[in-house]
Amino acid sequence: MRTGVPQTALEALASRRLLASSWPWRSAGYLLTTLPVAVPAFVVLAIPWLVLVARLAEGGHPVATIVSQILLAAALTGVLGPLVAPPLARLERRRLRMVDNRPAGTSHHRPAPAGLTSWLRHRYTDPATWREVGYACLLATLAPVLSVAALLAVPLVGTFLTSPLLVLAQAPGGKPVALGFDTAATVGQTLPYVIVGALLLPLVPYLWTLLAGGHAGLARALLLGETTQQLRAELVEVSRSRARLADAFEAERRRIERDLHDGAQQKLVSLTLRLGLARLDLPPDSPAADSIALAHKQAKQLMAELRQLIHGIQPQILTDLGLAAALDELADQSPVPVTVNADLPGRPPHQTENTAYFVAAEALTNIAKHSDATSAALSLRQHSDLLTVEISDNGHGGADPERGSGLTGLADRVAVTGGRMLLSSPVGGPTLLRVELPCTHTQPSG
């Protein structure tokens, strides 16, 4: 389940609103500016090889001459490439912003030492430099060809669409109009081209976005050094950071629940008792008795609301008796009859236990609000290091995360623990929600 706005041109390809967005125009601008940027790379890296090819095409050269010319072209590339590629790479990292909203970052060059000799040695031995040289070679050869081909699609499609007008503009007996690989002399002959042009017109923005996104993805991989190992390490760190945040949130939630339960609730209970005693000491028909009675009633209502708030933050039964008992209480409070089947050898870890409880609570709330179900079932199983929660109902189905039914929040809560959520809800029902949570150890029950 993927949400949010596209961050790159390649992500925008999957959007149904691509044609109405700015991504095709940003991609066209990226392809257009590729041509002037590629000129220095072409002059330095491609021209020596083109000269070599032109000389070899003349023929009659001995093998030794051919080998020496190849070595000369390779030497020019090896000597000039590390000097030209880094400035181009810096420009390309800035240009990435046109089709990639993610932070561009910096290159992975090693720190350069002082001194010209040491600097040159560093420049020619740094792996990041040679990745930039490789990108510069692609920029000098393949990138301009693809960019020109994508941009020429516009005049080609325009020619197809306006071909009847071009034919009519010719004087009687004039020359046929060239259309692609063929010609047309009459309006009737241009109709197939008009149809093809009308079909290709909406595809041109997709072509721009695809080529610009692919180019930017390759540039990001080569110029930012985002290797698979580095990405995996960053992903691991993100997962650990997310787990630390979840643990901190859980600890803070428990602290708030404890402060409300031991502090505010106890003071409110004391206030309610004092108001009750004061009410008994006043004459029943006095104005003060009516005010005290009203305050006493409001205090009791506030205490009931505070208890519900504390229960929503951290149900006391979940803390005291565990997940199975808490789910039984949820089932008893549900307006839809719920059958609970729990099989737990012990108590799961606190975070897993809380996640399973709140997932079940949200799912039962969704069933009561949206499904028109007459019955539901809640199953809880622990196998080895996996806790599985299944909630099913006999409602009309059609649950869709895109319609804001709370399923997106459930998926996010489950993902924080490293688990996953599966949903089957065809139109007409039934609906089955399955949540799998990691359960590496169990607490002693009781």
pLDDT digits (tens, 9 = 90+) for 160-210: 899 888 888 875 666 788 887 788 888 888 888 899 989 999 999 999 999
In a shared domain, residues 55 and 166: yes
Long-range contact list for 261-266, CB < 8 A, 24+ apart?
261/310, 261/316, 264/306, 265/303, 265/306, 265/307, 265/310
Question: What average pLDDT does range 34-47 have in this prediction?
Answer: 86
In a shared domain, residues 282 and 367: no
Residue appearing with tokens 């996104």: 213
Give percent above pLDDT 70 in the chain: 79
Could you tell me the pLDDT band of residue 2, with boundaries at 50, 70 and 90? very low
Helix axes 23-41, 142-161, angle to 10 degrees: 130
Rounded CA gap, 290 and 225, in Å? 76
Q: Which token pair is 292? A: 């005290």
In terms of Cα–Cα distance, which of 321, 389, 335 is closest to 359?
389
Give percent above pLDDT 90 in the chain: 8
Q: Which strand ranges, in their side-by-side order, compose the sheet holding 431-438? A: 338-343, 376-383, 386-393, 431-438, 420-424
- Per the prediction, the chain carries an average pLDDT of 78
Question: What average pLDDT does range 299-328 have in this prediction?
Answer: 71
- Regarding predicted confidence, which is higher, 293 or 442? 293
Q: Are 395 and 427 in contact (CB under 8 A)?
A: no
Rounded CA gap, 270 and 112, in Å? 71
Residue 398 lies in a domain: yes
Could you tell me the pLDDT band of residue 27, with boundaries at 50, 70 and 90? very high
Question: What average pLDDT does range 280-298 have in this prediction?
Answer: 75
Question: What average pLDDT does range 326-337 have in this prediction?
Answer: 85
Residue that terminates a domain, selected from 313, 341, 374: 313
- Regarding predicted confidence, which is higher, 273 or 335? 335
CATH number of the domain that residue 427 is part of: 3.30.565.10
Could you tell me the pLDDT band of residue 329, with boundaries at 50, 70 and 90? confident
Rounded CA gap, 417 and 239, in Å? 9
In a shared domain, residues 246 and 219: no
Residue that terminates a domain, selected from 223, 244, 274: 223
Residue 2 lies in a domain: no
In a shared domain, residues 274 and 346: no
Residue 255 lies in a domain: yes
pLDDT digits (tens, 9 = 90+) for 197-252: 899 999 999 999 999 999 998 888 888 765 445 555 555 655 565 556 556 556 65
Among 5-9, 28-32, 183-187, 248-252, the range with the most confident prediction by mean pLDDT is 28-32
Strand partners, 183: 178
**Is the pLDDT score of 256 beyond 70?**
no
Rounded CA gap, 135 and 426, in Å? 48
Rounded CA gap, 164 and 177, in Å? 10
pLDDT given at position 3: 40
**β-pairing verdict for 431-438 and 386-393:** antiparallel
What is the number of domains present in the chain? 3
pLDDT digits (tens, 9 = 90+) for 115-130: 777 767 767 778 788 8
pLDDT given at position 205: 92
Rounded CA gap, 328 and 334, in Å? 10
Could you tell me the pLDDT band of residue 33, with boundaries at 50, 70 and 90? very high
In a shared domain, residues 299 and 327: no
Could you tell me the pLDDT band of residue 81, with boundaries at 50, 70 and 90? confident
Helix axes 228-259, 407-416, angle to 10 degrees: 110
pLDDT given at position 6: 82
In a shared domain, residues 296 and 172: no
pLDDT given at position 336: 87
Question: What average pLDDT does range 23-35 have in this prediction?
Answer: 93
* Lowest-confidence segment of 127-136, 219-228, 256-265, 339-348 by average pLDDT: 256-265
- 428 torsion bin: left (phi>0), alpha (psi -120 to 50), beta (else): left
Residue 267 lies in a domain: yes
In a shared domain, residues 389 and 420: yes
Residue 296 lies in a domain: yes
Question: What average pLDDT does range 254-266 have in this prediction?
Answer: 63
Residue that terminates a domain, selected from 267, 285, 313: 313
pLDDT digits (tens, 9 = 90+) for 371-422: 888 888 988 888 878 888 898 888 888 877 666 556 777 777 787 777 888 8
In a shared domain, residues 109 and 70: yes
Residue 138 lies in a domain: yes
In a shared domain, residues 67 and 199: yes
In a shared domain, residues 306 and 332: no
Report the largest interatomic distance among the alpha carbons of the chain, rounded to a whole angstrom: 126
Q: Which token pair is 52? A: 């070599």
In a shared domain, residues 62 and 194: yes
Rounded CA gap, 294 and 276, in Å? 11
Residue 443 lies in a domain: no
pLDDT given at position 30: 93
Q: Which amino acid is at 19?
A: L
Domain of 294 in residue numbering reads as 233-313
In a shared domain, residues 40 and 189: yes
Residue 57 lies in a domain: yes
